[in-house]
Structure 1
Amino acid sequence: MAEAVADPRRTAVRQGLISKGLTAVAQAIKWLLFSLLFSIVVELVGMNLWWEDAGLDHSRAMLSQEISYLDTDFRRSIVTSNPVRFAKDVADGTYHYLFEVTRFIAFIRWVSPPPRAEEKGLRPTLHKVYQPIAEYTIAAMQVTQVFSVRLAILMLATPVFLLFSLVALVDGLVRRDLRRWGGGRESSFVYHYAKKAAIPLVVLTWVVYLSLPFSLHPTFVILPFATLFALTVLVTAGTFKKYL
């Protein structure tokens, strides 16, 4: 009977952990898709407003620049022994599954050539529809590859957040002990708001960097956000309640 009573509790706990995990994964996918769609929209709008002269070359130059950052500044990483190869594999894998497996590339190759004078059927009609948006389609595909390379860079930069947060956690716990033994003031207000700000800062880092409509060295995005994230960890640990 004791086992029968304990099993439902264990099942409930497991279901709770599984549901939280699935929710976190769904939220991550949602923000990644939002960043990708936003970057594509900005690129397409920019081709008509801001970099009209560059046109399709703008997204191509961004892709080359992002890879050059890897070649020069990301030669070593805790995540992988070959960061450049890792990023290129991520970009190639994204291209393969999104455009080759779905037969999107095959469709473009089929519809792109001008139809013959006597040709009839669906292809001439689709060619007329596709021709005005050909450059925008290719630009969207190149932006997707830029997104993939940046995603790989963020994965490679994850240890930076872990290192900063570890240092901040130790510093915060020391501050908590000093406050505890010195009779310092306890503020649950600061603690709860600092705790709530940690995860949004990580999400904001990914969204901002993945959505940038221009090439920017990852250091100028990752380090400031990693510092802010570490600050929230420090404040959270430092303002944690004195007595458990």
Structure 2
Amino acid sequence: MALSDSTETTSVTKQKKIIIRNTHGEKLVGILHETGSKELVILCHGFRSTKETTTISNLAVALAEEGISSFRFDFSGNGESEGTFQYGHYHREVEDLRSVVQFFNGGNLKASTILGHSKGGNVVLLYASKYHEINTVINISGRYKLDRGMEERLGQDFLERIKKDGYIDIKNKTEEVYFRVTEESLMNLLNTNMHEACLNISKETSVMTVHGSEDEITPIDDAIEFPKIIPNHKLSVIEGADHFYTSHQAELAAIVVSFIKDCLQKGD
């Protein structure tokens, strides 16, 4: 249920803060960009990010300019939302997204598209593999191999160390703990198989993967795997773009908006 909201009106869009409880009773905080359209795009941020990240915010603006409503929110344990940040736990974020979809589908708006950047890209694909009511799914820079680069992130012999100590603390440049990886959360990540999940995505669901050719975090090789296993899939590679589309925000927005509009026109 929505607990509170505040409204800000722009020339074409109403922005409203909405709070939705997830299945754990935690408050998920998001911003609705309401244009008057009945169809709604739900925008999901990436790892250790928020609804305010440049990519997500810019996509909300670009969609509004085309008259398409959107909702960007913080997963539990991130941004303004309640809960404790947990490494991995993709399926917990899937259920956060489920709570958001069900909230809007019970009102005047209908969630027709789910879009995620980075880890959020994996979340929307996993959602589509489990629930089949969303017709359009957009994966921006999500991983195919979740275990790739683990030693770079956690250090050598991470499995031995985490079994010994029960956790690994990831520190920032000032040696402050950025986040903690527990054995349980690591196993949750390693047991999440994107290949098996994507095989369960309905052929009726239109899926697009967008990836930067110069992505320094998720290799472009990952993006190439998705069209091999998702039946109704389009791959768009943005030449020269990094993981955060630093110099390619406009191109990313144009590709995303065009795909969503095409799907809406087809009645997907």
TM-score scaled by structure 1?
0.22
Question: If each structure's strand is expressed as a fraction of its own residues, which one has the higher value?
Answer: 2
TM-score scaled by structure 2?
0.20
Question: If each structure's helix is expressed as a fraction of its own residues, which one has the higher value?
Answer: 1
Higher RCO, 1 vs 2 (CA within 8 Å, ≥6 residues apart): 1
